[in-house]
């Protein structure tokens, strides 16, 4: 099988793109793009399952695992409630999307159940390609490169204009480049976890990373 070759060409100011089809997530591989957002609804079966699982306390500690393309979560790793298969199929689809994009042999999967912002300050990730999806609660916020002052990373001044902050919706798939993607040093997506509120006191997210063998 022919393997993709990623050419390390750093763009002067990467852009973010909104797409309507899963196949268009591949636009994130373009050198001039560092984030792609696919808007999509979530099934009631999935969200009902997650709410019920959290109510029992069984999912409060989240979950971490590694999957090969086509694999999904083991049934016995999840609470045995109505809708469990909806979550397993969702994770299988997300992992397959990331594996198809990167040709990676494995995908690291994290499910986080949060009652406070995990990363409240705007920051970058030192990873290659990461897929994020918020299932419950407010979704990930980010700044386009053109709206950020990277010299101020680590401070509130990284965002000169607060109105430029963008936010995904629950269910949206975000695929973003980190600092570790070839040619993307200095252009990792600037993003953060949103604040929780009394109206939205809980956040459940999936974070997936492409894994490759050590050279």
Segments making up each domain of the chain, as ranges: 19-211
CA distance to 7, 144, 200, 210, per residue, from 1 (Å): 19, 36, 46, 19
* pLDDT score for 63: 94
pLDDT cut 90: percent of the chain above it: 60
* pLDDT score for 205: 96
* pTM, entire model: 0.88
CATH fold of 19-211 = Jelly Rolls (2.60.120)
Helices (H), the chain: 44-56, 84-102
* pLDDT score for 3: 62
* pLDDT score for 170: 96
- Mean pLDDT of each 10-residue bin along the chain, 215 residues long: 55 82 96 95 94 88 93 94 96 97 96 77 90 96 83 76 89 95 89 84 94 79
* pLDDT score for 18: 96
- For residues 109 and 89, give the distance between their C-alpha atoms in angstroms, rounded to a whole number: 13
Closest CA to 33 of 156, 177, 190: 177
């Amino acid at each position: 099988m022919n393997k993709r070759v990623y050419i390390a060409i750093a763009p002067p100011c990467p852009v973010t793109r909104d797409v309507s089809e899963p196949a268009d997530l591949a636009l994130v591989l373009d050198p001039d793009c560092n984030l792609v957002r696919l808007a999509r609804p979530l099934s009631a079966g999935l969200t009902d399952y997650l709410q019920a699982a959290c109510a029992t306390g069984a999912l409060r500690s989240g979950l971490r695992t590694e999957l090969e393309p086509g694999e999904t979560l083991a049934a016995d790793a999840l609470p045995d409630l109505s809708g469990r298969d909806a979550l397993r199929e969702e994770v299988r689809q997300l992992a397959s999307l990331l594996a198809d994009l990167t040709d990676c042999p494995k995908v690291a999967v994290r499910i986080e159940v949060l009652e406070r912002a995990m990363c409240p300050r705007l920051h970058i990730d030192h990873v290659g390609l990461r897929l994020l999806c918020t299932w419950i609660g407010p979704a990930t916020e980010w700044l386009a490169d053109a709206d950020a002052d990277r010299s101020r990373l680590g401070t509130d001044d990284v965002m000169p204009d607060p109105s430029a902050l963008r936010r995904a919706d629950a269910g949206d798939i975000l695929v973003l480049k980190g600092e570790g993607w070839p040619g993307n040093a200095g252009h990792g997506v600037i993003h953060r976890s949103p604040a929780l509120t009394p109206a939205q006191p809980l956040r459940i997210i999936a974070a997936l990373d492409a894994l490759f063998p050590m050279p």
